[in-house]
């Protein structure tokens, strides 16, 4: 997406702009010569996450923009108010708000603590409402006023809620803000829209979730920043410029950009990109081509039955025979598997000492993670046709307990692949 200069001199307040998609949007606007308010929590370097509000500000100014780094926790009204006042004092007003800050916790209802539930609601829904609310008086005075929120289309299907009710409520709460603000603020020529990615985007959150294995199956943050730029340069007075729930690649195609391969982290995997949440059909019904299709021949094409009798039991026998001290050292975790469907049953895999143990029934010691999955998908996961991270992100794998240790199965799959 070529810069047009239309955002030159415009003041844009972006929450969560110290890294990831928020920073990518800031850098894109900075190339026009925009003023960027970097509203984020990270003032000191984080031990894991890259970037601070100050390093982001330096990058913005190197790109040709002006930056105002502000320490902002969007849950704190006083901090948000202070950032707004500083922006108005330094730049004379606020033209655009980008609600990017978000919290994610993809676990089921019983396992989600109320503290984590409240965190997601406070950052996602309440934070979007609060930041927008405090900026509205200044947006009303702007001749180019926009609110852009990074939230999904309001597709009220139960399968978007079931795997992680708490998270979905918080993200749909952001989208409900978009729907309401659009109608409320339309008389003031303030365009209000949402933007969401069709595929997974490589961010620090994705890297942590998939232990960086998801990078090649995702797109770069720049696809979101280019799409955001295309939205924000629109005339807010245009009736079509407000009230939209945009998807990133749709925006780019409508602006004449047909080469989407440029946004892939690894173009070799352009046909195996992970779909993002809340887009498309029921994840359980999506074809394997929609996510990680490692074996394009189906069982039927190979002349085999879809699920041979006893394949899960046979699989565990092969796993048991393949366990080594090296495999244990690379995993260091114990798992309880609850298999549903045609081969219903419980299995365990203890990879904490020696050469490991596995068998049928309850785990002899408390497992680090309990994983529940249909037997057909379970077999596919252990034979490399479905990645554990992908199965989890698409709702086919349910995890209780330590998520990070559960996703170590990715490494285990790779080490056992040739033997299974």
Question: SS3 of 322, please?
Answer: helix
Q: How far is CA 38 from CA 5, 24, 228, 294, in A?
A: 20, 12, 16, 41
The one catalytic residue in 167, 246, 263, 392 is: 167
**∠404-340-372 over CA atoms, to 5°?**
10
Question: SS3 of 201, please?
Answer: strand
**What is the greatest pairwise CA distance in the chain?**
72
Q: How far is CA 301 from CA 218, 295, 298, 309, 377, in A?
A: 29, 11, 5, 18, 18
At 83, give phi and psi (nearest 5°).
-65, -40
Is 167 marked active-site? yes
* Full DSSP string of 19-73: SHHHHHHHHHHHTTT-EEEEEES--S--SSS---HHHHHHHHHHTT-EEEEEE--
Give the strands of the sheet with 345-351, arranged side by side: 357-360, 345-351, 333-340, 369-374, 398-401
Over 110-173, what HEC string results? CCCCHHHHHHHHHHHHHHHHHHHHHHHHHHCCCCCEEEEECCCCCCCCHHHHCCCHHHHHHHHH
Which residues are 399's β-sheet partners?
371
Pairing label, strands 345-351, 333-340: antiparallel
Catalytic residues: 167
């Amino acid at each position: 997406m070529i810069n047009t200069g239309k955002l030159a001199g415009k003041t844009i307040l972006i929450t969560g702009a110290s890294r990831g998609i928020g920073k990518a949007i800031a850098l894109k606007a900075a190339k026009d010569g925009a003023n960027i308010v970097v509203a984020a929590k990270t003032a000191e370097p984080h031990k894991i996450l890259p970037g601070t509000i100050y390093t982001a500000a330096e990058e913005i100014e190197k790109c040709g923009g002006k930056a105002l780094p502000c320490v902002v926790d969007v849950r704190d009204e006083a901090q948000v108010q202070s950032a707004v006042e500083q922006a108005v004092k330094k730049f004379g007003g606020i033209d655009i708000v980008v609600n990017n800050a978000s919290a994610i916790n993809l676990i089921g209802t019983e396992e989600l603590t109320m503290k984590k539930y409240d965190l997601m609601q406070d950052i996602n829904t309440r934070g979007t409402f609060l930041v927008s609310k405090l900026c509205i008086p200044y947006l009303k005075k702007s001749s180019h006023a926009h609110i852009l929120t990074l939230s999904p289309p309001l597709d009220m299907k139960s399968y978007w809620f079931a795997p992680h009710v708490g998270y979905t409520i918080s993200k749909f709460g952001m989208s409900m803000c978009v729907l309401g603000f659009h109608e409320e603020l339309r008389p003031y020529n303030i365009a209000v829209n949402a933007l969401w990615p069709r595929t997974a985007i490589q961010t620090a959150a994705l890297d942590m979730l998939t232990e960086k294995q998801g990078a090649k199956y995702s797109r770069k943050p720049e696809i979101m920043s280019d799409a955001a730029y295309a939205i924000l340069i629109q005339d807010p007075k245009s009736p079509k410029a407000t009230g939209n729930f945009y998807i990133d690649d749709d925006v780019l195609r409508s602006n004449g950009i047909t080469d989407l391969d440029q946004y892939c982290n690894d173009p070799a995997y352009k046909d195996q990109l992970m779909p993002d949440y809340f887009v498309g059909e029921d994840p359980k019904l999506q074809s394997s081509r929609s996510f990680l299709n490692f074996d394009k021949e189906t069982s039927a094409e190979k002349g085999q039955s879809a699920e041979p009798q006893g394949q899960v039991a046979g699989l565990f026998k092969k796993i048991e025979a393949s366990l080594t001290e090296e495999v244990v050292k690379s995993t260091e975790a114990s798992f309880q598997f609850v298999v549903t469907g045609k081969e219903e049953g419980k299995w365990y895999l203890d990879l904490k000492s020696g050469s490991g143990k596995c068998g049928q029934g309850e785990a002899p010691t408390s497992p680090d993670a309990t994983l529940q999955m249909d037997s057909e998908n379970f077999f596919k996961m252990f034979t490399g046709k479905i990645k554990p991270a992908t199965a989890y992100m698409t709702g086919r794998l349910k995890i209780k307990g330590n998520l990070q240790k559960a996703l170590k199965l990715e490494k285990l799959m790779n080490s056992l692949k040739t033997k299974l």
